[in-house]
Structure 1
Amino acid sequence: MSRAFVREVEGGEAYEDLPDRPISPHANLVTPTGLARMDEEIETLERRLADARASGDKAETARLSRDLRYWSHRRSTAEVVPPPSDNSQVRFGSRVTFERSDGRTQTYHIVGEDEADPSKGSISYASPLAQALMGKQVGDVIAVAHGEAEITGID
């Protein structure tokens, strides 16, 4: 293709059209802690966006604007789910401990998609592991990657 018909990007225009972050098709369930974190994130983004605009940083303004749109939308659609009052079975908000067939013991807190951080012990309720755990009780066995796991505790 001839370069004669391709518009070159000048001074930050590429940043002005950043695509929006994808929104999950799942219900936006959150814990009370997750809702508070959303509010903190929005407040931080608003402050940083004002600073970026004041300094004339177009790239940072575009990035922060996109992130603020995402979090504002997620906040407006958030459905707060209180912690479970009954630990007889796994529910949204449960902290589940299970022992894998290879002997490893793991504990995960089942939370909203935006709250999930498996490296810190929380998984999204929409994840395959959480879906396998939902509704199960202590002593139940579930299939997990490369084996099985027995639920040993629900808090």
Structure 2
Amino acid sequence: MSVAFRRESDDEHLEPKFEIPLPPGPNRVTRAGLALIATRIEALERALADTDTDADPAAAEPIRRDLRYWRTRRATAEPTLAPDDGSAGFGTYVEVEMGGRTRRLAIVGDDEADPHADRIAFSAPLARALMGAEAGDEIAFNGKDGAIRVLSIAPIDLPAQ
């Protein structure tokens, strides 16, 4: 019999299932980021408990994959506060003027980032350009000198008293 007519199994024709990729670099988080991770883990654990694996054993696999990702993020989380010197950095709100428009950006961890809500990851090019800036500084961005003017900086998380 020709090899072309042989059938090994149904599984060999399925797309491979990969783990969710972890962002490169440190896993810096704000207090809100730690809470976000805990909330996601709790929700996934509830969803896993509610899944009927007897009826469909594969139904739990995506939930387990997501749970592995979030548990890894919790295990590697590095709670980080804003810089002490008042400069822009991780864990700060930075009010900037760009292109004639004022925006208040939050520099946060990868899992907390939401660019549409002006929450940018510390690894994003705009965040890297702002790192170390102080109020009143004009910063080059996208090859243009003075593209960003820093108006104010404030910490996201205040240190515990």
What one-letter code is carried by the residue in structure 2 that aligns with 1:40?
T
8 Å Cα contact 1:93/1:111 also seen in 2: yes
Task: Compare the two structures and name the one with the higher strand fraction.
Answer: 2
Q: Do the aligned partners of residues 26 and 2 (structure 1) sit closer, same or farther apart at CA in structure 2, a change above 3 Å counting?
A: same
What one-letter code is carried by the residue in structure 2 that aligns with 1:127?
A
The structure whose Rg is larger is: 2
Relative to the length of structure 1, the TM-score reads 0.84
Aligned to 2:158: none
Deviation at 1:37, TM superposition (A): 1.1
Map residues 47-126 of structure 1 onto 2, 5 A cutoff: 47-54=46-53, 56-82=55-81, 84=82, 86=84, 88-100=86-98, 102-126=99-123
Secondary structure class of the residue paired with 2:100: coil
Aligned to 2:157: none
Identify the range of structure 1 (45-54 vs 65-74) with the bigger mean alpha-carbon deviation.
45-54
Aligned to 1:133: 130
Gaps of 5+ in 2: 155-161
Q: Could you list the per-position Cα deviations for residues 56-85 of structure 1 after superposition, in whole angstroms to 9, with x for gaps in the alignment?
A: 333431110000000000100001113x37
Q: Do the aligned partners of residues 93 and 49 (structure 1) sit closer, same or farther apart at CA in structure 2, a change above 3 Å counting?
A: same
Secondary structure class of the residue paired with 2:48: helix
Identical-pair percentage: 39
What one-letter code is carried by the residue in structure 2 that aligns with 1:104?
R
What one-letter code is carried by the residue in structure 2 that aligns with 1:36?
A
Gaps of 5+ in 1: none
Task: Compare the two structures and name the one with the higher helix fraction.
Answer: 1
Relative to the length of structure 2, the TM-score reads 0.81
Aligned to 1:4: 6
